[in-house]
Amino acid sequence: QVQLVESGGGLVQAGGSLRLSCAASGRTFSTYDMGWFRQAPGKEREFVAGISWSGGYAYYADSVKGRFTISRDNAKNTVYLQMNSLKPEDTAVYYCARRSAGGLGYSRLISDFGSWGQGTQVTVSS
């Protein structure tokens, strides 16, 4: 069972930046697509960004496109989310997740990701 541990969250002013990290246990990290999701108070969890197993393809929710960048370092078993030009509406708990084995295509669906971290809080003040 993989363990995913997020870090890097915190409080930042609007317009600022944060970089989230997600460290994964195990030897098979490089064979799985990864994703970042977020959940704001009173709202459903939503897709933020995804990246292919090789790092060669990244995709984003429209709400963060152009501001956030997902990347990965397979040698370090770590996936990152660089968040720039942060807005108060980006305030949420951010979760990294590993795509379940056997899936096809680049998914944005929560149900296609089988392993989740505990989350890290990001708060953007206005």
Checking if the pLDDT of 101 tops 90, the result is: no
Checking if the pLDDT of 18 tops 90, the result is: yes
Checking if the pLDDT of 26 tops 90, the result is: no
Regarding beta strands 113-116 and 92-99, do their DSSP bridges make them parallel or antiparallel, or are they unpaired?
Answer: antiparallel
Among residues of the chain, what percentage have pLDDT more than 90?
92
Mean pLDDT of 58-84: 98
With 0-12 / 13-18 / 19 or more C-beta atoms within 10 angstroms meaning exposed / middle / buried, residue 56 is exposed
